Amino acid sequence: MNIEALFASSIDGLMLGFIYGLAAMGLTLIFGVMRVINLAHGPVIMLGMYTVFVLTTEMGMNPYLAIVLAVVLGLLFGVVMYFIAVHNVIKAPELTTLLATFAVNLIIVGIATVIFTTTPHAIDVQLPSYHAGAMTILGTRVVAVLIASLITAALYAFLYRTRTGKSIRAVANNRSAAELMGINSSLMLGLSFGLGTMLAAVSGGLISTLFAFSVLSGTVYEVKSFVIVVLGGLGNPTGALLGGIVLGALEGITTMFMPVAWVPVIEYVIFVLILLVRPSGLFGAR
């Protein structure tokens, strides 16, 4: 086996893992604050892809500037989605919130299919590559990792350094006590859902600069997000980021030993094993 090729695949997988972790952080943030499993997560990732695609191809905007706009649109879309589909059933049994978000899933995919069809699309991003010996690192992946890292740092700064972020954490810990302290729990829950949706949309935008995509692509990354959330621990954003890096590295390594088509099978096996052996995740639930 070529050691350099294995090392290159591992680095490539680790870089993708940052983006996977960013997507999974959105899923686990929503669950950690309001105990809602967002089944519209995949379509929101897809919306992030098409937001960047439309702004880039139809309006001539720089793809990375389009991602900044995807941050704003993702946040607003998530807040609207919460108050329309989730707010009225937030205290209902979990199956009700699952059905509510699944309905949003079907609506988004249906509308996107009518507008964009199922034809794959791609964005042509030209950035220089970096060479180290026989290893080549694509500039698009370096930029994607940097953006994912900056957004993650900004999220933690918001949650731990601002009054609003501390209010969100208070609502997540004890909603009733937070309300007694004068915190508007409905507003904080809506903002949390918006932040989780924003992370999913941004990850989709970053993925669109790396790979071709279609209206069905979000499902693939939604499954990866669920595997990562279970791997890192439910409600644990840090665990989600680390779980994404672990999964990305595993993907990079396994493709050296088996066809790419087997990668999803490996991910499902990991998913089941973690549930059986350590349901709280490798890094513990929060």
Indicate the helix (H) or strand (E) that contains 137: strand 135-137
Could you give the C-alpha distances from 101 to 18, 94, 109, 123, in angstroms and in order?
A: 25, 11, 12, 29
Is the pLDDT at 115 greater than 90? The verdict is yes
Most trustworthy range by pLDDT among 1-5, 176-180, 235-239: 176-180
CA dihedral 72, 78, 84, 85 (to 10 degrees): 160
pLDDT of residue 282: 66
Query: What residues does each domain of the chain span?
Result: 3-277
Average pLDDT value for the chain: 87
Residue 100 CB burial class (10 angstroms; 0-12, 13-18, ≥19): buried
Is the pLDDT at 16 greater than 70? The verdict is yes
Could you give the C-alpha distances from 110 to 31, 43, 107, 163, 260, in angstroms and in order?
A: 25, 10, 5, 39, 29
| pTM, entire model | 0.91
- Would you tell me which CATH number, out of the four given (1.10.10, 1.10.3470, 3.30.1460, 1.10.8), belongs to the domain 3-277? 1.10.3470
Q: Which residue has the higher pLDDT, 59 or 251?
A: 59
Q: What are the pLDDT digits (tens) for 195-248?
A: 999 999 999 999 999 999 999 999 989 988 988 888 877 777 778 888 888 888
Q: Which residue has the higher pLDDT, 172 or 45?
A: 45
